[in-house]
Structure 1
Amino acid sequence: MEKNRNQKHTKETFYYAISRMLERGSYYGLRILIILHMTGIVLKMERTEALSIMGWFTGSIVVSQILGALLGDLIIGNKKAIIFGGIIQAFGAFTLCITSTTGIYIGLFLVVLGSGFYTPNIISNFGKLYLNKTKLLDSGFTIFYLAINLGSFLGMSLIGYFGEEYGYNIGFIISGILMLISIIPILISKDKIEDKKFKNEFPMGKRILNISLAFIVVGLFWGIYQISYIRISDLQFEFSEISSLNIPKHLWQTINSTLILPISIIAIIVWTFFYSTQFFKLMIGFIFGAISYGIIYLIPGVPTEKHTILYIIALLFLGIAEIHIAPIIHSILTKYSNPKYLAILISLAFIPTRLFGFIFGLFNDRFYDNPTLGIKLGIIAMVIISVGLIVYVFWEKKNYLQQRV
């Protein structure tokens, strides 16, 4: 680990982070209300139909992000795509106030389309802020990731509360207003991103290898997380019932997000002043992930109160793993790609995650019947990937030292 010198975050970093926080608040707040709205006393949809619509909704976002990235990179520009997407997404939230199935379909279509324009282009433009200070990329994207977590937590809490207390339409209106406000930091930012003049210093083979490895290992992390979460959520319910820690039951559902907050802040501070490679961070992330799943595996099928602290420690380690993995994928893409096509590459990065999630999801019935099976497979997969990353990191270090000789 080496010390960073003469590099610092700019105010544009925080403009973009605030915009993303507000957008995620709008999006996740809307999501928490939409199924309740569809199955409520007015529309009276069957829950299976509502869940099917939501499945199509979340799946379509991957396609819309590719479309939005293509238009942002090749035709209208990333900044205009962010603003355009934000406006469309806001109109989608407002359209959901039309109490009919037509209003639902049009509203969700507009939210999907708007998110497709907004998401890959804001991630791309954020990364381009660091083209000439790549050692701050990890810290910068962790700020961005922290904003996402804060936004989703606040959105689900506040919009969910107002929607349930004062009517779903109030929740949708708040969601749309938040989305419109999220555009303001982008409008006032004065970033000058000269990606056309930027030339990547790394050879093409190294760039392709590192980007491909990042796609695979990060996709695997979220796939593993999906199959292990069945056991984690079971334990979460058990401990909310038996724990004497005076934690309200509804807060047990947000304990992961709560732990992410201090971990993120520590990582931001450390990575702002000290630099280590992205693949070293991925290695650390998978090692902590393996340890976390190992601790969860030690908790018996029917836990007692004395296992509560063990569970919280496991979640803490899993949070450390997440912070060393989730933001780093975008750092790697920014560092090794051609910035002219960064939004396109970012939109494609969502595909491996969804693909591995779909593949692992085919076996969900087995994991529901035997939740510890997901933890066992998670431990094995995390250990194998950790070993592979250890080998790769030392191989990279050896090549770097040879080049300097």
Structure 2
Amino acid sequence: MEKIKNQKHTKETLHYSISIMLERASYYGFRALVVLYMVGETLKMGDKEALSIYVWLTASLVFSQIIGALFGDLLIGNKKSIIIGGIIQAIGAFSLCIPSTKALYLGLFLVVLGNGLFKPNIISNFGKTYLNKTELLDSAFMIFYLAINLGSFLGILLVGYLGETYGYNIGFVISGVLMLISTIPIFLSEEKRLDKIEKNEFPINERVLNILIAFIVVGLFWGFYEVSSIRTFDLQLQLSEISTLDIPNHLWQSINSIFFLPISIIVIILWTYFYSSQFFKLMLGFIFGVISFGIVLLIPEVPTEQHTILYLISLLFLAISEIHIAPIIHSILTKYSNPKYLAILISLAFLPTKLISLVLGLFNDKLYDNPILGLKIGIVGMTIIGIGLIGYIIINNKNTYDNNFYEK
């Protein structure tokens, strides 16, 4: 670990973080209401039909982001894509105020289209602001990731509550307004000109290898996270019923956030002043993930109230694990890719995660019947990946040492 000198975050970091926070608040607030709206008194859809539409909505975002990235990188530019996407997504939210099935489908289509333009391009533009100070990339994306999580939490809390309390139209209007406001910081930000970015000096084979490893490793992390969460969620339900701790039922659903916020702030400060390699952080993420799942494995199938503390400790380590994984994928892609095509690469980063989740989803019936099995798969898988990353770091350090020796 080495001290970072003469580098600092700028107002652009604040602008982009506010923008993504508002966009996530808009999107997750909208998402919290849309199924309730479909099965409510206005449209009176069946549960099966509403959930089918919801699944289509979330699945189609992966492909819309690829299309949006292509537009941003190759046709209209990243900044224009963000602004146009934000406006389209807002119109989509407003469309749902019209009480008809046609307006529903139009609104969902516009939300998907707008999100596809907005999300990969804002991540790309944010990353480009740090290409002349790559040691700060990890802390920058941690700030960005914190903003995403705060926006998601506030959106569900604020938009979801107001929509359910005062009517779905109020919720959709607030969602649309938040989306429009999210484009204002982008108007105020200058787009990073590619001719002012320092050229990527890494050999092409090293760049390709690091990007491929990041794709696969992060996809596997979320896959193992998903199969192990079956047991974690089961424990949450049981402990929320028997725990004597003064934790309201609705807070059990977002208890991760209690740990996520303070740990994120600590990590942001640490990574802003001290640098360690991105793959070292990934390795730590998997180690903390194994510790978290190992603690859960110690809790018996039918827990008692005394096991609540163990469960909360496991969530603490899981939050530390996620923090060392999720922001780093975008940091690695930004550092090693060609900035001209960064949005495209970022949009493709979602595919391994979805593909691995789809494959593991084929075994959901067995995992739901035996949630401990999913937990064991997560522990073994994360241990193997963690050991692999240790080996990759050792080989990289040896190659760096040999190169420096021969240069001397």
**TM-score of the two chains, using structure 2 as the length reference:** 0.98
Distance 1:251 1:166, change over 3 A: same
In structure 2, what is the equivalent of residue 297 of structure 1? 297
In structure 2, what is the equivalent of residue 230 of structure 1? 230
In structure 1, what is the equivalent of residue 389 of structure 2? 389
Note the C-alpha offset of 1:195. 5.4
In structure 1, what is the equivalent of residue 69 of structure 2? 69
Superposed, 1:230-379 pairs within 5 Å as 230-379=230-379
Name whichever of 183-192 and 273-282 sits farther off: 183-192
In structure 1, what is the equivalent of residue 158 of structure 2? 158
**Aligned counterparts of 2:157 and 2:93: Cα–Cα separation in 1:** 17
**Aligned counterparts of 2:168 and 2:319: Cα–Cα separation in 1:** 33
Note the C-alpha offset of 1:243. 1.2
Q: Is it true that 1:22 corresponds to 2:55 in the alignment?
A: no
C-alpha distance after superposition, 1:206-245 (max 9, x if no partner)? 0000000000000011111111111111111111111111
Note the C-alpha offset of 1:103. 1.2
Distance 1:281 1:195, change over 3 A: farther
Q: Is the 8 A contact 2:131 2:197 kept in 1?
A: no
SS of the equivalent of 1:43 reads coil
SS of the equivalent of 2:326 reads coil
**Aligned counterparts of 1:188 and 1:357: Cα–Cα separation in 2:** 38
What amino acid is aligned across from residue 360 of structure 1 in structure 2? L
Superposed, 1:47-196 pairs within 5 Å as 47-194=47-194
**Aligned counterparts of 1:260 and 1:351: Cα–Cα separation in 2:** 26
Q: Is the 8 A contact 2:132 2:197 kept in 1?
A: no
Q: Is the 8 A contact 2:19 2:182 kept in 1?
A: yes
**Aligned counterparts of 1:311 and 1:105: Cα–Cα separation in 2:** 41
Note the C-alpha offset of 1:98. 1.3
SS of the equivalent of 1:111 reads helix
| Equivalent residues, number | 405
**Aligned counterparts of 1:334 and 1:117: Cα–Cα separation in 2:** 18
Q: Is the 8 A contact 1:223 1:353 kept in 2?
A: yes
**Aligned counterparts of 1:359 and 1:220: Cα–Cα separation in 2:** 11
Structure 1: any 5+ residue segments left out of the alignment? none
What amino acid is aligned across from residue 53 of structure 1 in structure 2? I
Note the C-alpha offset of 1:310. 0.4
What amino acid is aligned across from residue 398 of structure 2 in structure 1? K
Superposed, 1:39-54 pairs within 5 Å as 39-54=39-54
**Aligned counterparts of 1:319 and 1:239: Cα–Cα separation in 2:** 19
Q: Is the 8 A contact 1:196 1:340 kept in 2?
A: no
Q: Is the 8 A contact 1:83 1:186 kept in 2?
A: yes
**TM-score of the two chains, using structure 1 as the length reference:** 0.99
**Aligned counterparts of 2:97 and 2:32: Cα–Cα separation in 1:** 15
**Aligned counterparts of 1:399 and 1:66: Cα–Cα separation in 2:** 35
**Aligned counterparts of 2:96 and 2:367: Cα–Cα separation in 1:** 35
**Aligned counterparts of 2:235 and 2:197: Cα–Cα separation in 1:** 52
Q: Is the 8 A contact 2:125 2:192 kept in 1?
A: no
**Aligned counterparts of 2:195 and 2:158: Cα–Cα separation in 1:** 38
C-alpha distance after superposition, 1:32-84 (max 9, x if no partner)? 10000011122111111111111111111111111110110011110000000
Note the C-alpha offset of 1:191. 4.6
SS of the equivalent of 1:202 reads coil
**Aligned counterparts of 1:34 and 1:232: Cα–Cα separation in 2:** 27
Name whichever of 44-53 and 196-205 sits farther off: 196-205
Query: In percent, how many aligned pairs have the same letter?
Result: 69
**Aligned counterparts of 1:48 and 1:104: Cα–Cα separation in 2:** 16
**Aligned counterparts of 2:365 and 2:251: Cα–Cα separation in 1:** 28
C-alpha distance after superposition, 1:8-39 (max 9, x if no partner)? 00010010000000000000000010000011
SS of the equivalent of 1:327 reads helix
Note the C-alpha offset of 1:196. 7.3
**Aligned counterparts of 2:381 and 2:249: Cα–Cα separation in 1:** 32
**Aligned counterparts of 1:366 and 1:153: Cα–Cα separation in 2:** 31
**Aligned counterparts of 1:293 and 1:101: Cα–Cα separation in 2:** 44
In structure 1, what is the equivalent of residue 34 of structure 2? 34
In structure 2, what is the equivalent of residue 404 of structure 1? 404
SS of the equivalent of 2:349 reads helix
Note the C-alpha offset of 1:110. 0.2
Structure 1 runs (4+) greater than 6 angstroms displaced: none
